[in-house]
A and B are shown apart, each in its own frame.
Chain A
Amino acid sequence: MISREDVDHAAMLARLGLTEAEKQLLQTQLSSILEYMQALSQVDTSGIPPTAQVIPLRNVFRADEPATSLSVEDVLSNAPDREDDFFRFPPVFE
């Protein structure tokens, strides 16, 4: 069961401003999704080693060779806001 605090915390981490109605809806939906996933815990995994990957690949590398990048116009084409050739954001301070 997802608590109301879990929803608030997840929304804060994702920087999502949710309305009261959205929070209630998400609490219910997230809870049922997690509940559904609980079905996996019924599988017997005792003989299976833990893994972080399901693809049978390892050591996939590329050579250290620089290639052409996008044009600045392409880079900034999805930017919500720009100034000169930069992405522009509301002020943040380190």
Chain B
Amino acid sequence: MAVTTTYEPVIGLETHVQLMTQSKMFCSCSAAYAGAEPNTHVCPVCLAMPGVLPVMNRLAVEYAFMTGLALNCQIPEASKFDRKNYAYPDLLKGYQISQFDLPFNINGWITVEAEGVTTRVGITRAHLEEDTAKLIHRHDNGDSRSLIDMNRSGVPLLEIVSEPDLRSPAEARAYLQKIRLIVRTLGVSTGNMEEGAMRCDVNVSLRPVGTEKFGTKVEIKNLNSARSVLRALEYEIERQARALDSGELISQETRGWDEDKSVTFSQRSKEEAHDYRFFPEPDLPPVFISAEWVEELRARLPELPDQRRERYVQEFQLSPYDAVQLTSSVEVSHFFEETVRLYPNPKTVANWIEGDLFRILRERDTEIDTLPMGPPQLVELLQLIDRGTISHGTAKEVLEDAAFSGKSPASIVKEKGLTQISDTEELNRAAAAAIAANPQALADYKAGKKQAMGFLTGQVMRATGGKANPALVNEILRAHLDKA
């Protein structure tokens, strides 16, 4: 069935970011749950035994405010925690400590670059809560059961809620990547989605282009990569458009994303929506943040992605496009700046990183910081080109090798015998041989046909295994031809 009406997607994201503290949010259990033996980071507080008293982790609170500042949020003077009640085994105590009506951060915004367009996306709120336990499902011999590991329960989690300001899957992905970049730049989270340190739920509805009223929204839960966000939204938008075109109503529901089948599927209808019965957490006193404390935290913010991008344009005279590319991750910008420090030609460095290095990373599906090669090797490569030791073409080949072997480019050039031939005697011999073997080319050259020159250059390059310095070959050939 063909899609007939043109719809505009309206998208908002809820992103959960684990804060990188040593201990949990309300107790002193270690927050390093990854790889720990099950139920070894658990105490009476995170088990919510009767009579225990949760106490806020000051660093987690500061990280939450610092993230709010980086998201251009307002920080209300007074905040508090609330209990969000629900019965599910991932919370043994039957409630999650979260923030309901007085969150830490409200009314912020960030900029998002997608497909060459910069959009401002509103941040409704960013509040602090505690992570849940990890459930493991086992099924064998006809016996099904769920197992609980409490180590993750109580790890500080910042929930960042966007306004429904996103209009395409690409924008939603770019938003998520920007949030990740911001929290990584701040150093408040690893932002590692594969390991669950960052997770996201997406709300999406469609409306006919040109109309204002929102359609019925569907929530897609637990997307664990930027790619899943993109693909799940592409699928869901198509599904809703087809349903609307055939006159169906979209039901307000929660859907899951099946990565293998590339489909979203219905999980539960909102009619049985949770009734969380929020009430103020009686064990935690309210948080009051003074103007001085806000300023102290603001002073602790590092250079943020937008500021860094602006500096690249100013300081290195790069185009805004280059600046966006080079600030796309903390690691890429460190690599770039360190290379430029050692080799102060920002444009050349930018071209190599954005061109060949990014291509290599894409092809091998890896990240710049996992390469055994660092800025010193790239600098060495650039210097080999500058000295005429290798051609630009050969340099690409050397980079490919150096990127994964971590060997020095000079040693690769030596090992593989890639040194550009600038020895005039050898080139003179090769030029004379090429002309002698191709009398027609000589005749053509004399007749003024310029292509003959290109043909002969090719012959010399081939004879020298592509290692001849092309400019020098040209010069020598011309001398031979002119006196022939």
Contact = CB atoms under 8 A, between A and B. Distances in A.
B311 to A, nearest CB: 31
B148 to A, nearest CB: 4
Contact of B28 (A62, A75, A84): A62
Interface string B134-164: 0111110000111111100000000000000
Contacts, number: 126
Interface size class of B (residues with CB under 8 A): 35 or more
A94 B88 CA distance: 10
Interface string B218-229: 000010000000
Contact of A59 (B86, B267, B287): B287
A86 B147 contact: yes
A11 to B, nearest CB: 11
B47 interface: yes
B148 A52 contact: no
A49 to B, nearest CB: 11
Contacts of A43: none
B216 interface: no
A71 to B, nearest CB: 8
Interface in B92-114: 92
A89 B145 CA distance: 6
Given A61-B58, A92-B88, A86 B277 contact: no
Given A61-B56, A70-B43, A89 B285 contact: no
A79 B171 CA distance: 46
Contacts of B192: none
A87 B60 CA distance: 28
Interface stretch (B33-41, B182-190, B456-464): B33-41
A55 to B, nearest CB: 6
A50 to B, nearest CB: 11
Interface string A51-79: 01101011111111111011010011000
B465 interface: no
B55 A61 contact: yes
A72 to B, nearest CB: 5
A4 interface: no
Contacts of B374: none
B135 A94 contact: yes
A87 B150 contact: yes
Interface in B380-411: none
B353 interface: no
A84 B38 contact: yes
B29 interface: yes
Interface residues of A, number: 35
A20 interface: no
Contact of B29 (A13, A69, A72): A69
Contact of B92 (A58, A85, A87, A90): A87
Contacts of A89: 89, 145-148
B286 interface: yes
A72 B39 contact: yes
Given A90-B146, A91-B146, A92-B89, A66 B23 contact: yes
B21 A64 contact: yes
B168 interface: no
B301 interface: no
B61 interface: yes
Given A52-B286, A53-B286, A75-B39, A66 B30 contact: yes
A93 interface: yes
B280 A53 contact: yes
13 contacts: A13-B85, A60-B55, A62-B57, A64-B21, A64-B23, A64-B59, A69-B41, A72-B38, A72-B40, A83-B138, A88-B148, A89-B148, A92-B88
Given A86-B149, A91-B146, 11 more contacts: A59-B288, A60-B284, A61-B56, A64-B60, A66-B32, A75-B42, A76-B39, A88-B147, A89-B147, A94-B222, A94-B267
Interface of A: 9, 13-15, 52-53, 55, 57-67, 69-70, 72, 75-76, 83-94
